[in-house]
Chains A and B, each alone.
Chain A
């Protein structure tokens, strides 16, 4: 059976169909999960997609973390289930406390929408098991609030525990330590600002996002087995 990925839709999400399409093109099964539902059904991985959940009112992710579905996502993550937050999804995971730190306005105060190069820093997370450390991937970013920041102690912990998943090779937004993505202590929850789902077909200019989402499917499949 193809691994089943649940893609959470908040009011204001706008990348959910891109994720569904990318997952299906990689051989996975994908379904949309409305934010107001309290159960995740029988999915084996969760993606929180990009967009502007709840209009990004107050702060990106600040209101989305209280959506009913998030309790189920927290329980799924606590049980070791793979959870990936892309862009706005990363912001939601930080606000929900599933990942440490916060994403604030880009250092240059510009909305950034362009391909960037990120380097894979660890191959033991839900998003990178199928990629070699040191691999450079060309994937688009599309954000105003992608400037990752955290307490110095948190950064030291992320470094010591090898939890920085992706680094920009040319930091576009001022993120501390060039961080483009991090993972939880359990390595099953991953947040990243770049959009791998937008780099999964040659027609989109890059297929470099495919190995990341394929990694998620590998993890989801392992859970199913």
Chain B
């Protein structure tokens, strides 16, 4: 089975995000008022071949832990969607 994967990583809650803070401070200058909680992260999209969804997810979680995130400062959300048989 082939799965489409979306991994979004961001700085963990409580870790200062200077990029997000700067963007947030800039928005009112463009007329966007009332925006708060801006956090900047990364998105990774790829496909993976795996026996089933649980196995695909487990592999992506391991990938996140060991490579895609730095667990000291970042965490990730993972979406896995089946593309049908490979």
List residues of A whose CB falls within 8 A of some B CB: 58-59, 62, 94-95, 100-102, 104-109, 147, 149-151, 174
Residues of B whose CB lies within 8 Å of any CB of A are 11, 15-16, 18-19, 22, 67-68, 70, 72-73
Contact A102 B18 (CB under 8 A): no
Chain B residue nearest in CB terms to A104? B73
Given the complex, which residues of B lie within 8 Å of A108, measured CB to CB? Answer: 18
- B18 with A107: CB separation less than 8 A: yes
B72 touches A150 (CB 8 A): yes
For the complex, give the distance between the alpha carbons of A140 and B65 in Å.
34
Q: Which residues of A contact B18 (CB under 8 A)?
A: 105-109, 147, 174
Closest to B22 in A: A109
Query: When chains A and B are docked, how far (Å) is the Cα of A147 from the Cα of B22?
Result: 16
The answer for the CA separation of A62 and B44 in the assembled complex, in Å, is 15
Instruction: State A108–B19 Cα separation when bound (angstroms).
Output: 9
Which B residue's beta carbon lies closest to that of A152?
A: B14
Q: Is the interface of B mostly helix, strand, loop or mixed?
A: mixed
Q: How far is the CA of A196 from the CA of B49 in the complex (A)?
A: 48
Q: Are A102 and B70 in contact (CB under 8 A)?
A: yes
15 CB < 8 A contacts A-B: A58-B67, A59-B70, A62-B70, A102-B72, A104-B15, A105-B19, A107-B18, A108-B18, A109-B18, A109-B22, A149-B15, A149-B73, A150-B72, A151-B72, A174-B16
Given contacts A102-B73, A149-B73, A151-B72, contact A62 B16 (CB under 8 A): no
A62/B72 contact (C-beta < 8 A), A107-B18, A149-B15 known: no
Name B18's closest neighbour in chain A (CB-CB): A109
Closest 6 CB pairs of A and B: A102-B72, A109-B18, A102-B73, A102-B70, A105-B18, A109-B22
| Bound CA–CA A104/B73 (angstroms) | 8
B72 & A149 in contact (Cβ 8 Å cutoff)? yes
